[in-house]
Chain A
Amino acid sequence: MKINSIELKNFRPYYGKHTINFATDDERHVTVIQGVNGAGKTSLFTALNWCLYGDNFVKRNIGHIGELVNRRALADGGMVETSVELRFTYQGMFPDQEVEFRAKREIQRDLRLDGTARPMTRLFLEITNWREFQDTEAANWIQAIIPENVSVHFFFDGEKIDNFTRPNRETEVESAIRNVLKVEEVERGMRHLEDVASEYQRQVSRHASGKLKPLLEVRETKKSLRSKLSKDIELLQEEVKLAKKQKRDIDARLEDIKGLRKLIDERKAIESELKQFKDQKVEYQEQTRSLANQGFIPLAKPVLDKGLEILREIPIGLPDTLLNELLDKMQCLCGRPIHDQSPEMKTIKNLLNQSISTNLGHIAQETHGDLKHLVRTHVEKIPIDLKSVLSDEEELEQNVRMKKGRLEEIEQALEDFDHDEANNLEKRRKEYEQSIPKLEGEINQIKGRIQEINMEITKLSQKINAEKDSNAKAEELKRYSKLADDSAKAMGKIYELFAENMRGHVQSETEQIFKDLVWNGDHFREVLLNKNYELQVIDESGEDVLPELSAGQRQVLSLAFIAAMAKVAVHETIPQLTEEPFPIVMDTAFGRLSRKHRENITRIIPNIANQLVLFVTDEELQGQAKENLASQIGAEYELEFDRESKTSKIKEIW
């Protein structure tokens, strides 16, 4: 970054317009602005900062914004415009072209309206040949080019910069390194990745409910139970089969016993009949259900009657389409022509008034026919059919009861038969016979249970699939989380290395520059910037003598530290973060320094910045110090304060 010019208008002691063109040449890049105390140096320094950073800078350093307005201009009355316009180049965003930025901040104050009105500050930023921005947008651009927390290390008051070297100021040192060397950006990246990892972890816990395992276990248990029940059914079916076989075997043996064959044959015939009756009963039940399902038809008898009554009243005459056609053709149905006054015409019109639409007539006729048919075929027939089926079923039941009674008689006869083997066989047969329905009942019960289990398994499987999907998502999120976490850790290591590297570089550069700047550099063995970011100056005996340094020496050390940061920022940061060097603008540059220090600093400092602007008193820069800078001064101005008009003027000397 290089500042090309600053133009002030009615700013503090500067009445009207004043311009300074700064030295920007590579060889001659030093601008000296000198003036006695009160001539307006600090106002110029303020103008630069106000233009870039606005009212907050003024409030922190001067006070009320209104104090920026030149008093003489105020006295002129009317509309007063106070402005600072800064032109600078910065290639950080446009590396391949020379781009000039023109930033202008202004206050317009209309004294004719209300002298006490709070003045409004406006900011304009023009990027040449490209775009213009205003206020917040413009301020954001400036923050992106040179953030305020960075600029304080390059635009500073020489008398106040020894903050770095006062005891317990490690926080300032650390934040200076972090801001200027962009260590913070690495740290921010790391924090961001940590946040991302945490967010993924939170999502993981939402998706991975841990329910999959218990669900799978429950499903397995159900499947095992189902398998066991199926085996139970097989065993029971085997038992039924065996019981039936035993029954048949017993019947065969009973048949062989003399005098029993007839009874056994009769029993067989009855049992066969009962089996047929069972099938017949199912058939009757289905017929009953089918007829009962049509039961709404006889139930609708009142509706049918009323519907038919209404439909009967509808005149079933000639359709309206035919009557309309006759009217259109003006002819009678028999083909004779008719006219408006003819009686046929009257008849047709009367018929038309009584007719219904063709479509409705068609539906009405159709419905009438259907309803009559229903009455004829269903309304009475369904109850009759139903009665018939119910009666057949009842007859069947009676028959079943009778046959069962006969079976009991046969059983009794066999039990009473005078033959021990026959008695025993019948007894066993009875046991088998009783066991069969019992076993079949059990089988049905188990089948029902299996059906329930199947439904439970289906539901569980649905839940398991949903859980699996959720777990797959959780696994994916876990991978993301780990990746972000690993990246954050990697970045943490980079951050540590980077910060450590920067600290090391700043330390050695500070030491080098400090030794060059102080006249008695040999007296100090080394300058340390320890891990806690405390600056230490070690003398020949190995003692930290920082607390004992003079005010001038501390200012020199601070300068050395700033210069070191400037140098490291340009050469040592990560390529993507490398900044264009910033200019160094020093107010009251050498106020506290002894002659020796001034001579050293003026010799060294032009080499550590690509542009140097010094605000000095006539006493600060003279003799050898001035000579040291002479070959590099590209612009020199003198500020003059006129006590009578209480205004300052800028006079170009060189």
Chain B
Amino acid sequence: MHSNIEGDRNQQPRKPRDRIRIDKVHHPTYIALTKPRENENHQDLSPFESMKNVFMLASFIGYNEKKRIPLGKDKEMIFAWARFSPEEDVPLLRALALAETEDVEVLTNQDRILIIAEEYANGGITEIRKQIEDMPGDRTTNLVDLLRNWNPYNRLLSTVL
């Protein structure tokens, strides 16, 4: 297994894509989930601290639900790769790419890792919108309920919660 990572000396390796993209149609959902909701007592915090967290959850919900949807023509860039934490997010995204491709070479290809995560997030975001944004009640509680009711999570927590 030889890698071409060194490449031709005259050929500059292409810089990997840095911006994380979503379908434009889902942009309002990402905005809504990261903004406090106006209500009578102004107590409703935004359920998510960042769009990055929405994206990560959407990616793994998409994977668990086997919903990988390629992005359409109209895209929106929402944050940069640097927002992913090197200790948690990056290893998880690599694991997602590995699980998807079963090809260890994918680990050196940031573009491939991103595309896989983006396409799963594109599939998972609809579920998040339905269960958190569109449901009545406090949205953070809805988020906890989503996590609690999620099967793999539920199995894991069945002994705990």
- Give the residue of B63, B91, B147 whose beta carbon is less than 8 angstroms from that of A367: B91
Q: Does A299 contact B (CB under 8 A)?
A: yes
Q: Which chain A residues numbered 388 to 447 have a C-beta less than 8 Å away from chain B?
A: 390, 441, 444-445, 447
Q: Please determine whether B107 and A300 come into contact, CB atoms closer than 8 angstroms.
A: no
Q: Does B21 contact A (CB under 8 A)?
A: no
Q: Please determine whether B99 and A314 come into contact, CB atoms closer than 8 angstroms.
A: no
Q: Please determine whether A307 and B3 come into contact, CB atoms closer than 8 angstroms.
A: no
Q: Is the interface of A mostly helix, strand, loop or mixed?
A: helix
Q: Does A542 contact B (CB under 8 A)?
A: no
Given contacts A303-B60, A444-B41, contact A370 B91 (CB under 8 A): yes
Q: Does B47 contact A (CB under 8 A)?
A: yes
Contacts of B105 in A (CB 8 A): 360
Q: Please determine whether A356 and B45 come into contact, CB atoms closer than 8 angstroms.
A: no
Q: Please determine whether B92 and A390 come into contact, CB atoms closer than 8 angstroms.
A: no
Given contacts A292-B143, A306-B98, contact A298 B108 (CB under 8 A): no
Q: Does B31 contact A (CB under 8 A)?
A: no
Q: Please determine whether A355 and B1 come into contact, CB atoms closer than 8 angstroms.
A: yes
Q: Please determine whether B95 and A300 come into contact, CB atoms closer than 8 angstroms.
A: yes
Q: Does B160 contact A (CB under 8 A)?
A: yes
Contacts of B82 in A (CB 8 A): none
Contacts of B59 in A (CB 8 A): 296
CA–CA, A294 to B48, complex, Å?
Answer: 10
Q: Is the interface of B mostly helix, strand, loop or mixed?
A: helix
A82: min CB distance to chain B, Å: 70
Q: Please determine whether B91 and A374 come into contact, CB atoms closer than 8 angstroms.
A: yes
A454: min CB distance to chain B, Å: 13
A338: min CB distance to chain B, Å: 21
Q: Please determine whether B161 and A299 come into contact, CB atoms closer than 8 angstroms.
A: no
Q: Please determine whether A289 and B91 come into contact, CB atoms closer than 8 angstroms.
A: no
Q: Please determine whether A307 and B108 come into contact, CB atoms closer than 8 angstroms.
A: no
Q: Does A297 contact B (CB under 8 A)?
A: yes
Interface 9-residue window, one of A264-272, A379-387, A469-477, A561-569? A379-387
Q: Does B135 contact A (CB under 8 A)?
A: no
Q: Please determine whether B91 and A441 come into contact, CB atoms closer than 8 angstroms.
A: no
| Chain B residues at the A interface, C-beta cutoff of 8 Å | 1-3, 5, 38, 40-42, 45, 47-50, 53, 56-57, 59-61, 63-64, 87-88, 90-92, 94-96, 98-99, 102, 104-105, 107-108, 140, 143-144, 146-147, 150, 152-153, 156-157, 160-161
| Chain A residues at the B interface, C-beta cutoff of 8 Å | 285-286, 288-290, 292-304, 306-308, 310-311, 314, 320, 353-357, 359-360, 363-364, 367, 370-371, 373-374, 378-380, 383-384, 386-387, 390, 441, 444-445, 447-448
With contacts A299-B60, A367-B95 known, what are 19 further pairs, Cβ within 8 A? A288-B140, A288-B144, A289-B47, A289-B49, A292-B143, A295-B153, A297-B88, A298-B156, A299-B64, A300-B95, A303-B60, A304-B95, A307-B96, A314-B104, A359-B3, A367-B94, A384-B160, A387-B161, A441-B41
